[in-house]
Amino acid sequence: MSNANNLLDPVRLRLVGSGGVVLVADQYGPIDGPLVVFLHGGGQTRHSWKQTGAKLAAAGMRVVTVDARGHGDSQWAPDADYRRETMVDDLVSVLEQLGAPAVVVGASMGGITGLLTTTVDGGEAIRALVLVDIVARPESEGVARVIDFLGKHRDGFDTVDQAADAVAEYMPHRPRPKSSDGLLRNLRERDGRWYWHWDPSMLANGVEDPTDKADQLEAAARKLTIPVLLVRGTKSDVVSAEGAAAFLELVPHAELVEIGGAAHTAAGDDNDSFTDAVARFVLETRSR
């Protein structure tokens, strides 16, 4: 296998977050390429970015996709601390360990983390920000639908196909895959049942509703001076066209890319269009 191909294969990293929580990440591409750090949404894992990571690595970028605390292969917080502020501390620690200015790409929960991190000490390591279907004031009905999905099925599933049924119901806009095998990255089997692979204690006090932090997010958005890209799915019920326009009023220098036919899960709904938009943005920001 050539060295070029090796660069497209992920290398697993063990990073340390706030309070010593171990965070697992995958790194793609040349170590001296422009750094792009990807943060997934609630209930997802770093594997959400696998295709994008490989494509950007092929374009010469250093890509790091991180499992948030309590998600994927990262450690579950022993004190069940999954507050936004703690995830911000995690990101500051990750950026320090990676040792280079980064473009941070965050979907939903990850986007909130990225935006809030720009306001704290250490956040200056973020040289540009990509928000994937999240704004300072998201639509309450769409947010409620996401939170409802995350809170369902706490007792698990009899089969992987049952989990696939739940995903298909949640994302009716997306064609159902012929195989359910891809879900195995997001599930774990315990005592003969399949459970979503995140710490159930995250749900003990309810999932944090971003609409409750709208004032804080809006204040953070107003302070942004770095390059910003907002990616919105045109079918999203979390970020409406009006919500995107309101965000652009807060951040007049921000760019907007809308992906036709995509919903809240825009990066997965049309990965090629999403990757092209991010790659263009990363390369353009290098000269700013």
pLDDT in tens, 60-80: 999 999 999 999 999 999 999
Distances (CA, A) of 119 to 2, 124, 125, 242: 42, 8, 11, 25
Q: Is residue 151 part of a domain?
A: no
Q: Which residue has the higher pLDDT, 121 or 237?
A: 121
- The domain tally of the chain equals 1
Within 10 A of 87 (CB to CB), how many other CB atoms are there?
Answer: 25
pLDDT in tens, 259-276: 998 888 888 888 899 999
Quote the domain boundaries for residue 19: 3-139+212-285
pLDDT in tens, 173-216: 777 777 777 788 788 888 889 988 888 887 765 556 676 788 99
Check residue 6 and give its pLDDT: 66
Lowest mean pLDDT among 101-115, 146-160, 178-192, 197-211: 197-211
For residue 2, the model assigns a pLDDT of 39
Measured in residues, the chain has a length of: 288
* Percent of the chain predicted with pLDDT > 90: 64
CA distances in angstroms from 221 to 68, 79, 281, 283, listed in the order given? 22, 30, 19, 23
Domain presence at residue 150: no
What pTM, to 2 d.p., does this model score?
0.90
Q: Is residue 193 a part of any domain in this protein?
A: no
Say if 116 falls within a structural domain: yes
Does 183 reside within a domain?
no
Strands 228-233 and 255-259: parallel
Residue 144 lies in a domain: no
In this predicted structure, which of 116-125, 164-173, 251-260 has the lowest mean pLDDT?
A: 164-173
Taking residue 164's Cβ as centre, other Cβ atoms within 10 Å add up to 19
> Would residue 94 count as lying in a domain?
yes
C-beta of residue 68 within 8 angstroms of C-beta of residue 109: yes
In CATH, what number is assigned to the domain containing residue 16?
Answer: 3.40.50.1820
Question: Is residue 231 a contact partner of residue 265, using CB atoms and an 8 Å limit?
Answer: no
Contact 152, 166 (CB under 8 A): yes
CB 88 within 8 A of CB 120: yes
Tell me if 72 is assigned to some domain: yes
